[in-house]
Amino acid sequence: MLTDAAGPVIVSIGVAVVWRGAGVTPTTPSTVALATIMSAWGNIRRASALTGQRSSLLQPHVRCFSQIRQKVGDYDLVVIGSGPSATQCAIESAKRGKKVAIVDKKGSVGGVCVHTGTIPSKTFREAVLHLSGYRHHGFYGKSYSMKTITIDDILYRVQRVVSSEVDVIKAQLKAARVDYIMGHARFENENELSIVRDKSDVCEEGRSSVSLLRAEKFLIACGTRPAHNPIVPVDGKVIFDSDQILLGSIRDLPRSLIVVGAGVIGMEYASMINVIPGHSVTVIDGRQEILSFTDDEIISNLKYEMRSKGARFLLGETIQKVEKDAGGVKVWLNSGKVVSGDALLYTVGRQANTDALNMEAVGLSRNPRGLVTVNKCYQTDRPHIYAAGDCIGAPSLASTSMEQGRLAACHMWEQCEQQPTSQLENGNYPYGIYTIPEISMVGKTEQQLTKDKVNYEIGIAKYSELAKGQMSGTTSGGMLKILFDPDSLKLYGVHAIGDGATEIIHIGQVAMAMGCSLTYFRDAVFNYPTLAEAYRVAALNGLGRLRRDVHGSN
């Protein structure tokens, strides 16, 4: 409502109107009855007639809204973040008839997963595989290559896929009637969040810079960002992190790339650049092995494939100093080695985006990485405040984050005891590592079984033994390995490397969830020719090993 000395001048409903002129003071718009609107309109006409200054005093600047945005909003659930766990929790809660809002900063619909994580990095990979001619090597030989690849070629595809994914998520939230509020969330007390908006958002939308949201329950799902090291002067051009490589910060693909960090992110990007003709990669890590949580034999295959294309691994090495020079970047290691390259990608660790949430106001703490501690139902120390996704730590997968968000919503509106044991709780979920070649696994590794002193046997199928592998030219290094109990034939784990590994792993996942034994794969009928047939080949291989062991002991 706008007022002057004579009383009400205008009431705005569904549209924000700003009036300019001496003596006119704006106040917060509110919803009023139709009679009040008509009365206000009469006041406008009278004010115009009395002043005779309609053109100068009454100068409207209209900003349209689909509905009135009140300064204080009341919800059943407010979700901080819009990534996989956030959207799943919001939509699941909305399906139960709850009033839900998601809060995230402008341009972030979909969270880290959509903008700098899973979606763009895997699209980056697909673009590299296509543009480099890598997928044609099985037909034309390793010398086959296509045109010189530029970062613009790759990012063109990345941007199209990201844009499409954002549209899909927006449509899902709209269909579920979940409100999306742009801004930065901050806890004021246990039941209220203040939302601070950027100046540009305020100007565009005509809203106040601060508003307040009240809710019965909250979900913290704010994701993570790359961690930095003071020894490594990240500048976004020559020395960059995994976010910057996707945001157009670098002008050219480095012909010689130093990757610091042999975790999932580091190895994925290292293997991508490594397959581009004329490019080389050096991987540096303080640990003695890459991807140490995966099966040793699978990792040996990955390293062999990468080394055959020129990759270099410097493991058990720590960085002492990093400097930029005219030729790119130099790295001094604790062993005395000096490594040079055109650019450096730093991928050691992630930091949770919880530092601006004012969690101390509600008595919640964070560890040095900003991670939030939760129980098996994803509750924090404040039972009505939940957390899910990467901000609670491992496994930090988009797939597990989705399920965490759904389970959190189920517990919010039900009793935890009423829910069956989740696949996350019993560890029956797959890992997908999108290196080139890709890796996937479910269950135990050989190292874990050996450490736990569990007797086991293995069954192996190599892609070179499969008709589909020969047809598609994807035999190099590809294999599937099944770990099982030699007495009961119970399945302990499935591990795969090669084309389609992240797809065919789900057969093993479901079989383990259903309590199937190795004989299930022996007796199953698979489409022929397919890569999925590897399960039958591996099962027969494993059973054959048992027979050989029996005959050998007699």
User: What residues are designated binding site?
Assistant: 122, 261-268, 349, 390
Query: What is the token pair recorded at 333?
Result: 């290691």
CA 478 to chain centre: 27
Cis status, amide bond into 420, omega within 30 of 0? no
Query: What is the token pair recorded at 135?
Result: 């997928």
Q: What is the DSSP secondary structure assignment for residue 60, as one 8-state letter?
A: -
Q: What is the DSSP secondary structure assignment for residue 117, as one 8-state letter?
A: S
Q: Are 57 and 51 in contact (CB under 8 A)?
A: yes
Query: What is the token pair recorded at 475?
Result: 């035999």
CA 303 to chain centre: 26
Report the binding-site residues for NAD(+).
261-268, 349
CA 34/CA 18 separation, integer angstroms = 21
Tally of CB atoms within 10 A around 484: 26
Query: What is the token pair recorded at 39?
Result: 């009365």
Q: Are 146 and 134 in contact (CB under 8 A)?
A: no
How far are the Cα atoms of 238, 239, 247, 339 from residue 324, in angstroms, in the given order?
Answer: 8, 8, 21, 12
In DSSP terms, 7 is beta-bridged to 4
Task: Write the CB contacts of 162 (distance below 8 Å, at least 6 apart in sequence).
Answer: 110, 114, 115, 119, 120, 123
Q: What is the identity of the amino acid at 284?
A: I
Report CA dihedral (67, 72, 77, 80) to the nearest 10 degrees.
90
Query: What is the token pair recorded at 116?
Result: 């700098």
Query: What is the token pair recorded at 28?
Result: 């917060």
Q: Are 503 and 332 in contact (CB under 8 A)?
A: no
> H-helix or E-strand containing 57?
helix 54-57
Provide the CB-side half-sphere exposure for 480 (13 A, CA).
31
Assign residue 336 a region: left if phi > 0, alpha if psi is -120 to 50, beta otherwise?
left
Phi, psi dihedrals of residue 11, rounded to the nearest 5°: -120, 135
First to last CA, the chain: 95
Report the binding-site residues for FAD.
122, 390
> H-helix or E-strand containing 18?
strand 15-18
Paired sense of beta strands 72-80 and 210-220, if any? parallel
